[in-house]
Amino acid sequence: MSHPPSLESLLPGESLTERTYEALRTAILRNRLPPGTALSVPRLARELNVSRTPVREAVQRLIYEGLAVHESHRGAQVSRVDIADLRRLYLVRELLEGLAARLATERLDAAGLAELRGILAEHEEVLASGGDDSAHIELDMRFHRKLREIAGNPHLTAALEPIAGRSHLALHSLWRTEEAPRLALEEHQRIVDAMVTGDPELAEEAARQHISRLRIRLSHSTLRGQEAVRPGEPDALEGGAHA
């Protein structure tokens, strides 16, 4: 691992497990721990200068969130996501994010709306300052996590959290382009605007369109990045989708 995670920049006062989790999660989202990297508890404990217990607990949380997987005889590693798997993930995520927006609209109050708008404002600032793709990914995750929190359905959260986590791993290739973060922010704004109307169906449709369009943009970005794509091969992410 050429760029080991660090605890130095994290806020004091958090539990050691929380700080360890944040360090590993940040390293994954910034691609310092690329997909397929082994998450060896003894090695990570040495590199972070902590005991094995907080590392083990942090890795378990990463597995729950879909950022890592555990395989028999291989242990934990950063999740890999291929094109076919992305298509399956985003088809399911589209449905579940739509449901989250619908439920969140029914429960939206002034405090929840203020938090959502705060995330949008922060994302606007990051765009204006030219923040890197990891900052955009983090804000995207925060926005959707807040929607799930407002929706208030723990079963939906349990189903959506690992799907959202794994799908975010593929965003580095997409959000290096200048227009992608701006489009995502505009679509987030449409979701919030729809929620403010109080119409759950309108909010659900806005959220579903956001994920569908994100999937299509990601498909184009992924296929452009491949060294060999067979002419006439159908788009693995777009198949069966509506825009």
Is 6 inside a domain boundary?
A: no
pLDDT in tens, 65-89: 888 999 888 899 998 877 777 888 8
**Which domain range does residue 74 map to?**
16-78
pLDDT > 90: what percent of the chain?
Answer: 49
Please check whether residues 158 and 101 belong to one and the same domain. yes
Report the domain count for the chain: 2
Confidence band, pLDDT 50/70/90 cuts, at residue 223: low
User: pLDDT higher for 13 or 142?
Assistant: 142
Is 5 inside a domain boundary?
A: no
Please check whether residues 161 and 59 belong to one and the same domain. no
Please check whether residues 98 and 195 belong to one and the same domain. yes
pLDDT in tens, 99-145: 999 999 999 999 999 999 999 999 999 988 887 777 888 899 899 99
pLDDT > 70: what percent of the chain?
Answer: 81
Is 213 inside a domain boundary?
A: yes
Please check whether residues 218 and 192 belong to one and the same domain. yes
pLDDT given at position 135: 82
C-alpha to C-alpha distance for 236 and 176, rounded to whole angstroms: 21
**Residue 60 belongs to a domain with what CATH number?**
1.10.10.10
**The last residue of a domain, from among 26, 51, 78:** 78
pLDDT given at position 40: 94
Which range among 37-41, 79-83, 161-165, 193-197 shows the weakest confidence by mean pLDDT?
79-83
Structure tokens at 81: 């996501």
pLDDT in tens, 225-238: 543 333 333 444 55
**Residue 133 belongs to a domain with what CATH number?**
1.20.120.530
- Determine how many CB atoms are found less than 10 A away from the CB of residue 86: 21
